[in-house]
Amino acid sequence: MSQPVQDACQFLLRRDEARMPAAEAGDCVRAAMTAGGGGTQTLTTSSSWIPQGTHTIEFTTAPDFSLTLESTDTNLRVTSGAGGASVDTGNGRVGARESGTPEEAYAAVLAHAAELTVNPDRVAQMLDGTDSVEVDYEAVLDGAVRTKISGYRSVDAAADDMMPAAVTLWLDDWYRPVRFELMGQARGIASSITAVNSAWAS
């Protein structure tokens, strides 16, 4: 485990039984994801954050963040990184700009949503926005013991900024997320995301 991860994840390394401060949870997972270098994610949505269906995301977290999301269900392709973001829904590539045309603004919403479970800064922001975090050090996922962290925030706050109201992450031995379960509201519509990470780069 790298030194930055050890420094950021002292609460979990101590196996503290108290509720984990949300900011510490965010810092820990951000450090672990960055150290992980990137990977592959299978994301399933029943939401208005991202069109419903199953999507595959290839992402890097170091030295810079980038992602490519693709879906055979919807012909959706989203790219995001240091050079900006773009979306192709089968009718050509559209650059993502919040203050641009309606198509560009919609592309920005999709790109922002695509980053939610793979961008270390977005994951940290999501956890930091919860009231506090419950930790289960003996959670079993697919036959393996994992550390599970769960956080909640008010529905009204989640509805305003398209952030989940309930956040659950299962972490591997290096505190990298292997599974996300997110629930909340997007523009008043109940939404959920399940994301499974595999093939971390390091």
- pLDDT for the residue 32: 97
- pLDDT for the residue 161: 54
Using a 10 angstrom Cβ sphere, with 0-12 exposed, 13-18 middle and 19 or more buried, the burial of residue 134 is middle
- pLDDT for the residue 10: 97
Query: How far apart (Å, rounded) are the C-alpha atoms in residues 113 and 94?
Result: 16
Identify the segments of the chain with pLDDT beneath 50.
Answer: 157-160
Spatial contact of 167 and 126, defined as CB atoms under 8 Å apart: yes
- pLDDT for the residue 158: 44
Identity of residue 126:
M
Query: How far apart (Å, rounded) are the C-alpha atoms in residues 141 and 121?
Result: 25
- pLDDT for the residue 48: 63
